Structure 1
Amino acid sequence: MLDTGSLPAMARAQRSEVLDTWLAGLLDAAVARTPPPRPRRGGVGGGHQVRRGTDGVALVAVGSLGRRELPPHGDLDLVLVHEGRPEVAALADAIWYPVWDAGLRLDHSVRTVAEAVGVASTDVKAGLGLLDARFVAGDADLAATLRTATLASWRQSASRLLPQLRDLRRGRARQVGELAFLLEPHLKEAYGGLREGQVLRAVAAAQLADEPTTELEEAYAFLLDVRDELRRRSDRPNDVLVRQEQRPVAVALGLADEDALLRRVSLAGRRLAFVADETWRRAEAALVRRPRGRYRRVRREPLAEGVVRQGDEVVLARDAHPATDPGLVLRGAAAAARADLVLSPYTLKVLAVHSPPVPEPWPAEVRWSFLRLLASGRPAVALLEQLDQEGLLVRLLPEWERVRSLPQRDPWHRFTVDRHLVESAAAAAELTHDVDRPDLLLVGALLHDIGKGWPGDHSVVGEPVAAAIATRMGFSAPDVATVAAMVRHHLLLPDTATRRDIDDPATVDRIAATIGSDPALLQLLHALAQADGAATSSSAWSPWKAHLVAALVGRVLARLGGAPVPAPQPVLNPGAPQASTGCAGLPDGASDVTVGVEDVADGQQVTIVAPDRSGLFSELAGVLALNQLDVRAAKVNVVAGRATAVFAVRPRFGRAPVASILADTVRAAHEGTLPLADRLRQREVDYRQDAVRTVPPRISWYDGEVTGDAAGILEVRAGDRAGLLYGLTAALAAEGLDVTSARIETLGADAADHFYVANPSGEPIDAAQRQRVEAALVAAVCGAVADPASGRGDAPG
């Protein structure tokens, strides 16, 4: 690979030079100290040929040292090649032991040329390593013979070894992930990492692909620089770019900050992965054995004006005129996506060089092609990546450059911003039958996070950006306003559904007031929320969250249409239960409590009816946590002194809740025979994955959006653990606040809990009380458990 003039690159070159000189000296010393064996007696042909000096023996570097890419704390990969010298074992020991004595890790072997070629022809990893064989010391002609024989064997065995190499890389990609989209990428083994650069050279060595381009070599060299700087900062080898090392590595490489580093890493990884995908596609086609026979011309099938299908790719038609046809790029991409094909690399380069700018506003035919491309769904992802890699997408959408490979630090996001937008559009393509304006849904999905490329609230700053793009695309003024509103309010429905009580009329009024009297916009926002969630991650868009949003949309539609809003259901999930696990009462009338459990979508619903008392909600949350149930949502209604608490739960370890067990636990907690705080604290000790995180929680108040000064909405974001909900609600109860409803959401290792709280006396929640509540919540997140009766908290366990 092409080296650069960076400091890490110069350090690699110097490291290789120093090691080569030292290893050459070891070989010379070994030869000098190791006498050749005496010839046997017995006449002609009865003894060994006596070789002196380094004749017939060569020290060869393979792997990273062979490529002159050895990183700090890297392994030395050495092969001692010989032509049958009987003293070769002694020579090898005289070289290996000083290396070990120097504290270096060593991967070594001693082989003849025939032995090395035999191993390389059957072991794909060994063959890949020997392709990097580089002469260090000894017999240069022997080292050259090894390299020539290895290369010939690799080409001869390519049809058998390359599929194995492909499967190895795909297996590692499934385990480690894709470099471009990881917040803590493995620089070597993630797909698109350093290993891809080495594999591309191997495929080129098999004469099944071109040699890597300068652009690809520069991407590879940058990843080498990052890896070397990362290793230089550690006392042990580690190729995972962990978060705490990103800023110092960025500074050392002259980059602005960790986001700039991660973006450069992503761009390099995407380029390597893109070329690797195309290389494997072509290599696999070349390795297919076709029956012998007469030469048959490849059929060319017309797909659209100017493009035809040829084999498994789309190429330009003979009568195409890319220099005078501004719509050809999108027309060809749309045709390829509809046929589930890709554009040929040569066609992409021709289009990149010769395509003229698209007139502004876009002609209707160009806009139609773009919408047709987006409507193709999953096949559009590969085509948009092709356009992006050749710089064609940025020509169409200059604002796209701002979000290209832009990292998202939220752990529940799977992709960079630009890839997330493309994935959202692909998901939206599955929902076009659910809306009246599928064209606006597709464009809104592609642009909903475009504002993340600018400072500020991305929904706010993205609104004018999306409006400008939609105008350039040629949409009418009302359609431009709709796209802008979709970007501005794309989080409205999911945020409201998960933070607020959807049965509260104030919640419905707030949505209606925000979007106006347009049911079509509500319809588009609902579909956009689904597409956005599906493209984010499963933890960000669960069946339960989808149900909440759908229920909220139904209530808002009823309000917009003038029909009565559906009455609140007695359970959180109004759908019919799939099964019931029964209802248990507490015996002897001790507590007048009943517990019911129903199977609902994505978990169970637990309904507990009990006399109302201070701290009841917290007590019930603790009982559920003790029974290994994760709460996703909760609501409490109090009528005539009796509380009905409904919890949507998901078993943490797959065991559905049993009503009778829950009833017994509630009774014990109520009577004081079950010390909830102590039991939950012990459970955290037993389950280390539930250990308290030290990151401070984020606490927000939303009291201006509900009716009454005595009520408020409180948001707590903190590291998730067992018993967290119990601790938070106990802290609220200890500070004199009632919890009337809660929405609980887990996003990766974080919890986002939203509580409707109020003073029972009707007094406003003033600033002083807020400060006390916030302090109590921080203590609860750190492990302290408050006593609702006394208002005091226990020290963290």
Structure 2
Amino acid sequence: MPSEALSARRITQVLHEGFADPSVGPSRRRAQSDLVDDWLRELWGRADAPVSGAALAAIGSLGRRSLGPASDLDLVLLLDPEQVDAATAEQIATALWYPIWDSGTSLDHSVRSPQECAEVAAKDLRVAISLLDLRPIAGDEQLVSEAAGHVRAQWRREARRRVKELADLATDRDRRYGSLAHSSEPNLKSDRGGLRDITVIRALAESWLADHDHAVVDAAATALRDARDALQAVTGSSGTRLRRADQDSVAALTGHATADDHHAVLAEASRAVLWELHRAVRAAEAGLAPGGSATRGAGADRRPALQRHAHGVLVQAGEISVDPASEDPLRDLAAIRHATTTGLPLSTATLARLAQATVGPLRPSQRDVLIDALAGEHLADTYEALDIKGIVARWVPGWEAIRNRPQRSAVHRFTVDRHQIETVLEAQRLLPKVSRPDLLLLTALLHDLGKRADARDHAVEGAPLAEAAALHLGVEPEDARTIARLVREHLTLVDLATGRDLADPATLRELLTAVGEDLDTLELLRALTEADAIAAGPAAWSTWRADLVDHLTGLARTALSGTAPAPRLRLAPQRSAQEAVLGAVRRSGGAQVLYPAPLDAEPISQICLGAPDGEGVFAAMARVLVRQRLDVHSAVVSTLDGVAVNTWWVAVAPADLPHPSVLRTALERELAHRDRADARVLELPPAAPPRTTEDTPVVTLLPGASSEATVVQVNARNRPSLLADVAQAIALHGIQVRSAHVMTLGRRAVDVLYLTDGHGRELDPPSTGRIVAALMEAAET
């Protein structure tokens, strides 16, 4: 076979041998491995290698005979230094490696003697694990058998000493990599719960210190490898990152109706892998635990010491179990509480029994123990153990519909179910700030139950689901209604604060209506807003957003209590700066630029631009910022006595801003040529065409958001010229911008525009229709 034809053959073979049937995957991968084995043997035959003392062996996926259609090759050239000299070794290596590189196949290679294999395995844990898969391809098989035997014997001999190193490796992966189950773009190989963790599980089994559930791990490996194969067939590359752009194609190739359905399968597989890995590490560590205080008895009667806790909870050998003879109704929940508060794991037998237990509506006493469990710092680990056995879905109505469900939002790091757990963890910090911490924890647990398949408005649809779940968990009816209200409005505060004009009375009225004009509910909503945003990811919360949220909350608090003054909005336009720019424009008759005092330790700068008001001024200012590569976070647009004084917040540190004279000159040039179509063209590469429905812009009217202007929201994929293009569309239609509120979330920009006609009035229906169409076109450009 010509080397250049190998890659095409591998892809062709995988596409013709099916994906929808999981039983085909292992045989298909063996066929892939056989194909590559045959090619490597041809290369070996042309390498003129000696009959003995030299061999080609595989490790990695080829060594395990689980090769994907574009997987890298991991090869070891084994040589006996007593039989093969350096010149012959170089000649063999050259004859092997260069044809592989010429074929376009990625290669990881090494040249070692059997003794060197054992030596490097003793020093490097990762190399030791990889060499456990050493498999002969061509040449002296006895040499490969000798090397593999040395490595395996050494691994078993030193396994007890290396258990801590293995545990540290697992812990390090927890820190360095994301969770495959909860990632929106998972790496099937490297993420936690991925193919590399399966290799570690099997390495532990090779040590004879700990075994695993082979059926569970084999099934998970098949699901992950099938996805990897489909991804490599789709992309034609060896990458294992399942990116959004490829998820629909990979899902279709693997026989799933949607990418979300496929993600749920991958999440289930990866969570099973993590659970088996943690079980295996724990078992290995327990097997090495010294006697003494942890045991009781003597000789053959020695056994782990037993600690008894309230409600029939037992701790033995570092695990939590329950007294089977106890009939305490709090027993099971008390065991879970003990796990979340101490970090000790629930025993396998306890988890198995909980998975089969009948669960009815909770009593008030059980509810209280559950709330205590939600306040435990080790909630996430306990949740993963419970959920892998399906226990959480048995306890919480509606949970199964969101379990392992991915979030199609750039700001979210986790699946819907895990995001709710992360929100509970974030809410724990805020418990002292609310009068009903129990309701905050329960609402955090239930707030996204509405994110089910085909949900149109997850907050509205989730409110009755959360109320029903709360009642099942033993919550009083009135409190359950409060939870439902909080779930229905859990996005209202941040949306109003970051996307509406805080000076417009309608904004405050809408928030007061949302909280039922109840101060306690307002404080709960404020805490939930922060916990939800931080749990989503760093793009969803910042000092800037917190300041806006606190300002609007303060206005509402003042309106409801009349005692607490609203906090000053740090990110509001500084009045002194506006007045200085206004005076400078009046004196000079031209454009002016001022940088107000910077915010402390904030990578956001404030820029105040002023110019005589008129058509196209807002668009001209937006173009200046685009040309200076200044990404706009927010803007407040105002006209003072015929002068446009617009304040912009840009994502750059004050020290990195261009000199004000540079912006002033650029603004004067834009204003002078604002009527010339050629001068309005931005020298930027065109935006990439939409790849998914998520990239499609949405322009929405917000009726009732203001009694003084027509409010329009533009939600589109972000790009440097988006705001300038939107502003230009508005200028071309002769419409005025009273204020603009810009928010960037990951790849999306959400711009809320308060628009009026030339007389400062709301737009009439025909004008509204025209501007909505124009904004849609501008957002798509």
**TM superposition score category, shorter chain reference:** 0.7 to 0.9
For residues 246-395 of structure 1, the aligned pairs below 5 Å read: 246-280=247-281, 283=284, 302-309=308-315, 313-316=318-321, 320-321=323-324, 324-339=327-342, 341-346=343-348, 348-352=350-354, 356-360=357-361, 362-376=362-376, 378-395=377-394
Cα distance change of structure 1 residues 109 and 600 upon mapping to structure 2, 3 Å threshold: closer
- The aligned counterpart of 1:620 is 621
> For residues 703 and 79 of structure 1, what CA distance do their matches in structure 2 show?
65
For residues 40-79 of structure 1, the aligned pairs below 5 Å read: 60-79=57-76
For residues 144-223 of structure 1, the aligned pairs below 5 Å read: 144-158=145-159, 177-223=178-224
> For residues 670 and 35 of structure 2, what CA distance do their matches in structure 1 show?
71
Cα distance change of structure 1 residues 495 and 504 upon mapping to structure 2, 3 Å threshold: same
1:694 corresponds to 2:689? yes
> For residues 577 and 590 of structure 1, what CA distance do their matches in structure 2 show?
19
1:460 corresponds to 2:460? yes
> For residues 90 and 180 of structure 1, what CA distance do their matches in structure 2 show?
48
- The aligned counterpart of 1:500 is 500
State the shift of 1:271 in Å.
2.3
Cα distance change of structure 1 residues 584 and 661 upon mapping to structure 2, 3 Å threshold: farther
* Secondary structure of 1:450 counterpart: coil
Residue range with higher mean Cα deviation, 122-131 or 393-402: 122-131
Deviations 1:506-535 (A, max 9, x none): 122222234323222222211111111111
Unpaired runs of at least 5, structure 1: 37-52, 686-690, 784-797
1:303–1:335 Cα contact (<8 Å) kept: no
State the shift of 1:388 in Å.
0.9
Residue range with higher mean Cα deviation, 325-334 or 424-433: 325-334
- The aligned counterpart of 1:8 is 25
- The aligned counterpart of 1:411 is 410
- The aligned counterpart of 1:735 is 733
- 1:9 counterpart letter in structure 2: P
- 2:335 counterpart letter in structure 1: G
Residue range with higher mean Cα deviation, 633-642 or 194-203: 633-642
Cα distance change of structure 1 residues 62 and 651 upon mapping to structure 2, 3 Å threshold: closer
State the shift of 1:576 in Å.
12
Cα distance change of structure 1 residues 176 and 735 upon mapping to structure 2, 3 Å threshold: farther
Cα distance change of structure 1 residues 242 and 627 upon mapping to structure 2, 3 Å threshold: closer
> For residues 570 and 426 of structure 1, what CA distance do their matches in structure 2 show?
28
* Secondary structure of 1:614 counterpart: coil
Q: What percentage of residue pairs aligned between the two structures are identical?
A: 32
1:628–1:652 Cα contact (<8 Å) kept: no
- 1:543 counterpart letter in structure 2: T
State the shift of 1:287 in Å.
7.2
Please give the TM-score of this superposition, normalised by the length of structure 1: 0.82
Residue range with higher mean Cα deviation, 254-263 or 598-607: 598-607
Structure of higher CA gyration radius: 1
State the shift of 1:560 in Å.
3.4
State the shift of 1:443 in Å.
0.7
1:189–1:195 Cα contact (<8 Å) kept: yes
- 1:533 counterpart letter in structure 2: A
Cα distance change of structure 1 residues 60 and 616 upon mapping to structure 2, 3 Å threshold: closer
1:485 corresponds to 2:485? yes
Cα distance change of structure 1 residues 392 and 94 upon mapping to structure 2, 3 Å threshold: same
* Secondary structure of 1:386 counterpart: helix
Cα distance change of structure 1 residues 502 and 569 upon mapping to structure 2, 3 Å threshold: same
Deviations 1:137-178 (A, max 9, x none): 666665444333211212344467666666666666666532
- 1:69 counterpart letter in structure 2: S
1:598–1:606 Cα contact (<8 Å) kept: no
* Secondary structure of 1:209 counterpart: coil
1:498–1:754 Cα contact (<8 Å) kept: no
Residue range with higher mean Cα deviation, 439-448 or 141-150: 141-150
1:327–1:358 Cα contact (<8 Å) kept: no
> For residues 749 and 655 of structure 2, what CA distance do their matches in structure 1 show?
20
> For residues 591 and 671 of structure 1, what CA distance do their matches in structure 2 show?
10
- The aligned counterpart of 1:44 is none
Cα distance change of structure 1 residues 670 and 62 upon mapping to structure 2, 3 Å threshold: closer
State the shift of 1:342 in Å.
2.6
State the shift of 1:496 in Å.
1.6
> For residues 676 and 164 of structure 1, what CA distance do their matches in structure 2 show?
66
> For residues 486 and 306 of structure 2, what CA distance do their matches in structure 1 show?
42
* Secondary structure of 2:753 counterpart: strand
- The aligned counterpart of 2:434 is 435
- The aligned counterpart of 2:424 is 425
1:711–1:758 Cα contact (<8 Å) kept: yes
> For residues 181 and 680 of structure 2, what CA distance do their matches in structure 1 show?
44
> For residues 776 and 105 of structure 1, what CA distance do their matches in structure 2 show?
49
2:616–2:728 Cα contact (<8 Å) kept: yes
Cα distance change of structure 1 residues 296 and 713 upon mapping to structure 2, 3 Å threshold: same
Deviations 1:162-216 (A, max 9, x none): 6666666666666653222222222112222111101111122233422453112
Cα distance change of structure 1 residues 392 and 767 upon mapping to structure 2, 3 Å threshold: same
State the shift of 1:126 in Å.
3.0
- 1:450 counterpart letter in structure 2: L
1:559–1:565 Cα contact (<8 Å) kept: no
Residue range with higher mean Cα deviation, 341-350 or 381-390: 341-350
> For residues 381 and 173 of structure 1, what CA distance do their matches in structure 2 show?
13
Unpaired runs of at least 5, structure 2: 1-18, 297-303
Cα distance change of structure 1 residues 703 and 182 upon mapping to structure 2, 3 Å threshold: closer
2:212–2:280 Cα contact (<8 Å) kept: no
For residues 649-688 of structure 1, the aligned pairs below 5 Å read: 649-651=650-652, 655-656=656-657, 662-663=663-664, 665-667=666-668, 669-670=670-671, 681-682=682-683, 684=684
* Secondary structure of 2:538 counterpart: coil
Cα distance change of structure 1 residues 30 and 616 upon mapping to structure 2, 3 Å threshold: closer
Deviations 1:356-402 (A, max 9, x none): 32332x122221111001122x4211111221122221221242111
- 2:320 counterpart letter in structure 1: V
* Secondary structure of 1:452 counterpart: coil
- The aligned counterpart of 2:12 is none
Q: Give the paired residue count.
A: 743
- 2:69 counterpart letter in structure 1: P
- The aligned counterpart of 2:535 is 535
> For residues 76 and 356 of structure 1, what CA distance do their matches in structure 2 show?
48
Cα distance change of structure 1 residues 676 and 548 upon mapping to structure 2, 3 Å threshold: farther
Cα distance change of structure 1 residues 474 and 76 upon mapping to structure 2, 3 Å threshold: closer
> For residues 699 and 211 of structure 1, what CA distance do their matches in structure 2 show?
49
> For residues 450 and 167 of structure 1, what CA distance do their matches in structure 2 show?
36
State the shift of 1:652 in Å.
6.5
1:573–1:600 Cα contact (<8 Å) kept: no
Residue range with higher mean Cα deviation, 472-481 or 136-145: 136-145
1:482–1:521 Cα contact (<8 Å) kept: yes
> For residues 640 and 99 of structure 2, what CA distance do their matches in structure 1 show?
80
2:364–2:474 Cα contact (<8 Å) kept: yes
> For residues 656 and 141 of structure 1, what CA distance do their matches in structure 2 show?
68
Please give the TM-score of this superposition, normalised by the length of structure 2: 0.84
> For residues 535 and 466 of structure 2, what CA distance do their matches in structure 1 show?
19
